[in-house]
Amino acid sequence: MLNGACLQNGFDGVHLAVNNIVDRYGGFVEKSLSKYNHNPDYKKVPGTVDYLQHVKENLNVTPMQADVPQSLYFSFNNRPRLSMPNKLEHSTNITRSSLFNQQLNLQLALSHYIKPRSNVNKILLLNSWNEWGENMAIEPSNEKGVTYLNMIRIALLGLICNPPSNIPRPDGSQSTNAES
């Protein structure tokens, strides 16, 4: 029903994407479902996650991992949500999530979108608009203003206005900045 409504209104229909966390838990394997890259796996590694280490790990993704929809977060801290009742031993906090490291991670995620992608894999997931309870909000705030929205805007404009040269086309040939 939802697929039909989407098609009727000019969209490509409904496509289900599953995060790669199910792979880590030995969950179901369904080849027809697209997956997106979600890191870190805070459910298996409670405690502290080093954001800069996460960025470094993202530098070494395989072409197959880079081709799925990417998921990007700027920070995370579920300690306030888990403080009552006291479940702090299950909490996760992100360290070294400076604006510089966040911008680096954003540019790295966007770099995977330079080459042509299938329609279902063109989505970029930003986590999250207003998840204030886990310090994952990119929504403008009194504390940070429009910092995250500007960071995203500048990164996207940089990619659009200054695309890298020799971008591969779907047919395998190369384009140049002069053609853009």
What are the pLDDT digits (tens) for 143-177? 999 999 999 999 888 877 777 665 554 455 555 54
d(CA 141, CA 150): 13
Roughly how many angstroms between the first and final C-alpha of the chain, as a whole number? 40
Instruction: Evaluate if residue 5 carries a pLDDT over 90.
Output: no
Two structure tokens written together for 43: 């459910």
C-alpha 101/C-alpha 156 separation (Å) is 17
pLDDT in the model for residue 169: 47
State the average pLDDT over residues 120-134.
82
Domain residue ranges of the chain, discontinuous segments joined by +? 17-166
Across the range 119-129, mean pLDDT stands at: 79
Looking at the DSSP bridge assignments, the partners of residue 17 are: 34
For 57-112, the pLDDT digits (tens) are 888 888 877 887 888 888 888 888 888 778 888 788 888 999 999 999 999 888 88
Task: Check: pTM over 0.85? Answer yes or no.
Answer: no
pLDDT at res. 141 = 93
Among 65, 54, 84, 69, residue whose Cα is nearest residue 124: 69
Say what the pLDDT of residue 34 is: 54
pLDDT digits (tens, 9 = 90+) for 22-55: 554 455 455 555 555 556 665 655 678 888 988 8
Looking at the predicted structure, is the pLDDT value of residue 121 above 90? no
CA–CA dist 118, 122 (Å, integer):
7
Tell which wins on pLDDT, 66 or 13.
66
